[in-house]
Amino acid sequence: MRPIATAVVLILALLSVADRSHAAWMGARAFCFAGCFLAGSVDPNRLLYSLTAAFASIAVAGLGGLDLAIAALAFSLFDLKLRHMATLLAGLGLTGAISFGYSRWDPAWTPVFFPFHNRNHYAVFCELGLPLLVYAYRRTNNRSFIYAGAVMLVAALAGGSRAGAFLLLAEAAALWVAVAGKQKAWVAGPAIAIGASMFFMLSNSDRIQNPFAGDHRLEIWQSAAQMVAARPLQGWGAGNFANAYPAFASFDNSELVNAVHNDWLEWAIEFGILPVAAFLGFFFWWIRKTIQFYPSWGILIGALHAAVDYPFHLPGLLVFAAALAGSIESYGTSIEAESTDRQRRNRRTHSP
């Protein structure tokens, strides 16, 4: 029952991402917070670690630290086996792909990548999941995981996310080399070229030729850097970016700038550089520890994408990424070692 309850919490958290009005965000946060305790691991050590990290986040950042607190709880308390996490990921990813396909037939359909806000957030979800789907296929020999990953990759590329396309194709190439070996690495070249060609044919050429035209991201990042410099330690307060930004804005197009399009920079603006530095220190320590286990690559790629967008300001995506990292922490190394031990036993059994 506990794995089922955990899966339900993660699904509902991601469904909350579809709420563009943000009316359900606080409810989603409260549900995730409660769900972590009701559906999470009962191991006393993990509970102690997760509570310490969660309440430290709230103590440092107030209510704004609730997202990081929930992420800490999900990382420590949610520990679905990786094949179950891959099944959940494939189901949600295919739902987004089907929604995108339907939007091509009915342009009035929104959100295009249900339950994700837009093509960038769907691309981040695919980045998180592609390595895990490849791993699940290798573990179970179930081709459904590969088919799901291929459909999700095509939908993400057709969606037109520029950073998503670049990172997904790079991720796919790295996965191919890791799985097929360096001797077959040359096969990745034509496959990546086909994927890139599809992206260019289906995307708006102006967005590709002038990647920063129209959205003013460079100007926003410059102003955001000035905001960090003005209050490097205390920050401007959780959720206060949109209120504080006009005093530093370098342009005015009569539209509200509600996000920096860089999660890391926006967190530094709101909470100051010390909490962000502490989290980055933990993140790089964890990545360095798990980098040999390629399902963790999705977490790294998603973090890179967050440098040009704001996927992890959405509670659902943040909780899912944290839960995925927690499952990798719980099962990744041991499963990899188990697989190696099994291969060694098989070689000894079949040796003359």
In the chain, the largest separation of any two C-alpha atoms, in whole Å, equals 78
Residue 9, Cβ density class (10 Å: 0-12 exposed, 13-18 middle, ≥19 buried): buried
| Amino acid at position 315, single letter | P
**What is the pTM assigned to this prediction?**
0.87
> Rg of the chain over CA atoms, in angstroms?
21
Residue 140: CB atoms within 10 Å: 13
Block means of pLDDT (10 residues each) for the chain, 352 residues, are 86 80 72 83 80 81 76 88 94 94 86 87 95 93 93 90 89 86 68 68 58 71 92 85 87 78 91 87 91 93 93 87 92 58 51 50
Q: Which of 53, 89, 105 is nearest to 278 (CA)?
A: 53
The per-residue pLDDT for 108 is 84
**Distance between CA atoms of 139 and 146, rounded to whole angstroms?**
12
Q: Quote the DSSP letter at residue 18.
A: G
Instruction: Give 205-234 as a 3 state SS string.
Output: HHHHHCCCCCCCHHHHHHHHHHHHHHCCCC
Counting every residue written for the chain, the total comes to: 352
Question: Is residue 188 packed enough to be buried (19+ CB in 10 Å), middle (13-18) or exposed (0-12)?
Answer: middle
